[in-house]
Amino acid sequence: MLRALVWDVDGTLAETERDGHRVAFNRAFEEFGMPRRWSEARYGELLKVPGGRERLLADMAAHPDALRDDDERMALATSLHGLKNAHYARLVAEGAVDLRPGVRELMDDCQRLGVQMAIATTTSRANVEALLDTCLGRDGRARFAAVVCAEDAPSKKPDPQVYALCLRRLGIAAHEAIAIEDSPAGVAAARAAGVPVVVTRSRYFADARTTGAFAVGPGLDSIAGWTPRAGRRGRVTLTQLMAWRESLLKLSA
């Protein structure tokens, strides 16, 4: 029986990266008087590194002007990251990002069918709450039985920590959940925790590897273009996800 749908945040609930986190990083650089700006393309490369602060450290390491001292680098990355998150929350509150098409409808399916929802993300609680408050309104947070963030699971995806903790908080077994992800690191994290995973491709991971996912498609608003094929009309419903998952569980039984 399916007992929970576990959402990834960045790239899955919303396309937060290009117009949210990336812009916020650039504003933080500007505020620090740093000439660095991340173009859309450069940010795409850097997204291979999960975690905003880790991404800053990776970029610093790749630059000849980088600080040589590890502690100094870490201090700068921590300050920049904090500032970035403040800018990010402001951008989200201003409406810079919205939930991806089909997300609200799938959430409503969960409510109707009595399937719990949870969040398993690499980003911080403040960032998640900014998004939920803006996009789902006052009762948004209450719709999730567990919200597991960077503060709870410091070992970032592809490490399974965030999923393992989420399952523990929900009090369910891995096979009783479905994860929704967009990135290879997210898929790897869910699979390593034993959670069946579906991929909705996002802007920055449009062509990325999705090995291990039981279904992959361009978005929840249309069933067209999904693998396995399931028709051409309508959106991706929770009933459809459950049917795909059942076939997977039968195959692996």
Which positions lie near ligand XBP, rule CB under 6 A? 8-11, 17, 21, 50-52, 121-124, 127, 150, 157, 183, 186
Which residue's entry shows tokens 């592809």?
A: 158
3-state secondary structure of 170: helix
Binding status of residue 123 toward Mg ion by CB under 5 A: no
Could you tell me the CA-to-CA distances from 52 to 110, 208, 243 in Å, in that order? 30, 20, 36
Which is nearer to ligand XBP, 21 or 245 (by Cβ)? 21
Least distance to Mg ion from the beta carbon of 222, Å? Answer: 20
Least distance to Mg ion from the beta carbon of 8, Å? Answer: 4
Binds Mg ion by CB under 5 A, chosen from 124, 183, 200, 210: 183
- Three state DSSP letters for 46-82: HCCCCCHHHHHHHHHHCCCCCCCCHHHHHHHHHHHHH
123 binds, among ligand XBP, Mg ion, none (CB under 5 to 8 A by kind): ligand XBP
Tell me the window of 8-16, 164-172, 192-200, 235-243 that interacts with Mg ion (CB under 5 A). Answer: 8-16
59 is a catalytic site residue:
no
Question: Which two structure tokens, joined as six digits, stand for 168?
Answer: 């523990």
Q: In what order do the strands lie in the sheet with 146-148?
A: 146-148, 116-120, 4-7, 177-181, 197-200, 215-217
Which is nearer to ligand XBP, 76 or 223 (by Cβ)? 76
